Structure 1
Amino acid sequence: MSRYQARNRRADALRSRAAILDAALRLLRTDPDASVEAIAIAADVTRQTVYAHFRSREQLLAAVVEQVTDETAAAMDAADPDTGPATEALLRVLDAAARTAERYPGLIQAIVTTPVSPHTDRKVHAPISERLIRVIERGRLAGEFDDRLPAEWLAMVTVKLAHAASEQVTAGRMPPEEAAQALRTTLLRALTP
């Protein structure tokens, strides 16, 4: 095979992978149980092509989660977490993350309800936790947040509370505005010295 043919084959594979991820995002957004077959059809590829890129539905879901995590991290960065009082910055980055999550209700439901190992959970949340820790540490230095607990712990509490708020909305137990306010109130009580 020539170098040109190999390059074309790699380009085709990258396009197929991107189409599969895009289709998975679109379908899982509203249907957390979307099948690999449905995703393949939406991506205009065969099931075999999906499995050539992702050995299982779980591996495909993990790749989609990584893509949404990257999108969430970018939204959090755009919320300017290093400016102003840490309390305000934390609420801004949480609002930015929530706006991203709102675009993927079915996917968020699938993520929250799929059991994963603690290692995988830490890995998935690492980009989000890193941004939260940065704001929390800044708030601890300024005296806005309690410095008696590790910043990593407070970041994980923040993530878990955000998931709880999302679950309440998804289950129809709270409207989004009420869940957001409950998250803010609970979180600030947990972080304030």
Structure 2
Amino acid sequence: MARKQRADAHRSRAAILDAAARILNEQPEASVETIAAGAGVTRQTVYAHFPSRERLLVAVLDRLTELTVAAMDAAKPDEGTAAEALLRVFEAAAQESGRYPALLQRINALPISAREDHARHAPIADRIGQVIRRGQDTGEFDSHLPADWLVVAAIHLAHAASEERGSGRMTDSDAEHAFTTSLMRILAPAGGACAGSQDSQDAET
């Protein structure tokens, strides 16, 4: 009986988080009653899992992070060249996070400590770091710069491209081109072009 209750509670929690992500992205001020109805549970059940709206929003962010990590893993980061794999991983993350732009903007405005933010995004950074280290081992990427530094630079570039796209200052294709080209130039070994870079592709055409 206890195992069944835990399973039911887990399903209810997942349903609430999925409904909250979907509804709050479209209706930022949606009530708890609306979220409960979307999840197929009662208002009391929502409060049993999440005593406050802020706790719910933070839990939704954790859920979206989990989905992003799963999408990155599904992008086959161990296959192909490191450059190709890295671009696939970033594209998978962008597609997943792009499903909830308004919600993520609202959640990112919440007062979250730097330690909490770092811990939440650690799984994402870890996956990017694994691909970058593979590229350094194979000679595709610059091995003289610390991998952790390259991870930070890559993530900031991705955020910059997303902000330019979201603000309308760049089209989707221009932002993607700028991100890809800049990323590959940063990662390229000294005196060489990074495999899979736009420069290399242009040279071949």
TM bracket (short chain): 0.7 to 0.9
The farther-off stretch of 36-45 and 179-188 is 36-45
> CA–CA distance in 2 between the matches of 1:119 and 1:159?
17
* Alignment pair present for 1:92 and 2:92: no
Q: 1:88 to 1:32 in 2, by over 3 A?
A: farther
The farther-off stretch of 42-51 and 17-26 is 42-51
Structure-2 residue corresponding to 1:101? 97
The Cα shift of 1:133 comes to 0.5
Equivalenced residue count is 189
Residue deviations 1:90-134 (CA, integer Å, cap 9, x gap): 111111111112222222323443342221111111111111000
Q: Which amino acid in 1 is paired with 2:137?
A: L
Q: Which amino acid in 1 is paired with 2:51?
A: R
Q: 1:165 to 1:184 in 2, by over 3 A?
A: same
Contact 1:31-1:106 within 8 A present in 2 as well = no
| Secondary structure of 2:78 counterpart | coil
Residue deviations 1:48-86 (CA, integer Å, cap 9, x gap): 332210132222222222222222222212221112221
Q: 1:176 to 1:134 in 2, by over 3 A?
A: same
> CA–CA distance in 2 between the matches of 1:36 and 1:148?
52
Structure 1 residue runs of 5 or longer lacking an equivalent are: none
Structure-2 residue corresponding to 1:129? 125
Contact 1:109-1:167 within 8 A present in 2 as well = no
Contact 1:72-1:100 within 8 A present in 2 as well = yes
The Cα shift of 1:12 comes to 4.2
Structure-1 residue corresponding to 2:52? 56
* Alignment pair present for 1:166 and 2:166: no
Structure-1 residue corresponding to 2:39? 43
Structure-2 residue corresponding to 1:79? 75
Q: 1:145 to 1:7 in 2, by over 3 A?
A: closer
Structure-2 residue corresponding to 1:23? 19
Q: Give the one of 115, 122, 128 matched to 1:119.
A: 115
Point out which structure has higher relative CO (alpha carbons under 8 A, 6+ apart).
Answer: 1
Q: Which amino acid in 2 is paired with 1:180?
A: E
> CA–CA distance in 2 between the matches of 1:65 and 1:35?
18
> CA–CA distance in 2 between the matches of 1:175 and 1:30?
23
> Given the two structures, how large is their TM-score scaled by the length of structure 2?
0.79
> CA–CA distance in 1 between the matches of 2:173 and 2:68?
19
> Given the two structures, how large is their TM-score scaled by the length of structure 1?
0.83
Contact 1:145-1:191 within 8 A present in 2 as well = yes
The farther-off stretch of 35-44 and 157-166 is 35-44
> CA–CA distance in 2 between the matches of 1:12 and 1:131?
31
Q: Which amino acid in 2 is paired with 1:174?
A: M
State the superposition RMSD in angstroms. Answer: 2.3
Structure 2 residue runs of 5 or longer lacking an equivalent are: 190-205
- Identical aligned pairs, as a percentage? 57
The farther-off stretch of 140-149 and 10-19 is 10-19
> CA–CA distance in 2 between the matches of 1:81 and 1:113?
31
The farther-off stretch of 181-190 and 42-51 is 42-51
